[in-house]
Structures are given as structure tokens and as C-alpha cells.
């Protein structure tokens, strides 16, 4: 059985995430010269949290690396069926919606902080997050991603 990061969908999503980050910020997702499969493996096992969602009316998470899966306490199959709004508690969803609207308008933001909640109800504050729009190679919007290395349980 293939590891999660070995699927063509995950390899492709990792490429979109990496190219979009470079497009908006000029930064590399990971330093180095990797094949698409190598990048997918390295990012999946990276010590930072990386998640993305699509462009549905109620966007659904379509990627979460191992750190994200552990933090939100969900397996891949469940995370990738979860509307991204459910990663925040109901009182914090309006603030999250404002964040995503700002990202949509500007392309990306740095230094985002906010409260999130895991599947089991464990609350945590994320800090110094980068959130950016995902774009296909032809420039068509296809979602948003978030990356952060700083969080604390509340």
C-alpha cells in the first residue's frame, strides 16, 4: 500500500502549494532541488504544519501533512473530508472568514495568529502563520493554504 504522500493527488497538490507560495511570497516551501515525489515526501514529514483547502462554496480540506494530521487529531481520510471552517470553533469562524477574504484580496498574508480546535476539542493558538492563495499553472485560483511552525495548546 502506498504512503499518503506517494499518491498522484498528493504529489500534485504539493506542487501547487509550493509553486503558489513561491508566486506570492518569493519563498521556497523547502530549500533544495527535489523531484515532485521527493518534495511531497519531505513536506509531508516536515516539522511545520501545512494544510490546504479547495474553492468549494464551503471549502473542504484537501491536504494536511503529518504534523497537521497529528495537531487536528484526524487521519488523512477524515481530514480531507472536513470543511476547513470546522478547524475553528464557531465563535472564531467570523474572524477566520475575514482572514481568508484578506488573503483572497491580497494573495497572501504573513504573521497570522488565531485559535483552532482539533477533532477531540483540544484548543490551540497558532502564530506566525503564512496563508496564501493557491493557483494552477495557468493562474486559475484553486484554493488556499496555511503554513505555521508555532502553536501552543490552551
Looking at residue 111, its pLDDT comes to 85
Element (H or E) spanning 131, and its range? Answer: strand 123-135
**What is 12-34 written as a DSSP string?**
HHHHHHHHHHHHHHS--SSSS--
**Taking the CB of residue 57, how many other CB atoms lie within 10 A of it?**
5
**The predicted structure's pLDDT at residue 94:** 78
Largest CA distance in the chain: 42
**Cα separation of 11 and 148, whole Å?**
20
Q: What is the pLDDT of residues 32-61, one digit of tens each?
A: 999 999 999 999 999 999 999 999 999 999
Would the pTM of this model clear 0.85, i.e. be above it?
yes
Tell me what the mean pLDDT of segment 69-75 comes to. 98
Distance CA 48, CA 23 (A): 20
More confident residue, 90 or 128: 128
CA angle 9, 68, 14 (to 5 degrees): 30
Structural domains of the chain, ranges and CATH numbers in brackets: 4-153 (3.30.450.20)
Amino acid at each position: 500500500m502506498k504512503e499518503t504522500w506517494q499518491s498522484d493527488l498528493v504529489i500534485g497538490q504539493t506542487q501547487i502549494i509550493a509553486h503558489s507560495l513561491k508566486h506570492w511570497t518569493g519563498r521556497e516551501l523547502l530549500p533544495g532541488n527535489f523531484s515532485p515525489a521527493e518534495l511531497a515526501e519531505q513536506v509531508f514529514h516536515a516539522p511545520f504544519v501545512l494544510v490546504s483547502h479547495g474553492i468549494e462554496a464551503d471549502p473542504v480540506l484537501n491536504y494536511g501533512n503529518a504534523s497537521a494530521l497529528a495537531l487536528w487529531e484526524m487521519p488523512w481520510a477524515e481530514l480531507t473530508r472536513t470543511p476547513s471552517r470546522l478547524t475553528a470553533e464557531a465563535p472564531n469562524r467570523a474572524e477566520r472568514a475575514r482572514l481568508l477574504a484578506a488573503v483572497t484580496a491580497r494573495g497572501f498574508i504573513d504573521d497570522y495568529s488565531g485559535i483552532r480546535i482539533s477533532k477531540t476539542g483540544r484548543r490551540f493558538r497558532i502564530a506566525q502563520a503564512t496563508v496564501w492563495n493557491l493557483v494552477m499553472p495557468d493562474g486559475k485560483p484553486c484554493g488556499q493554504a496555511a503554513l505555521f511552525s508555532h502553536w501552543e495548546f490552551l
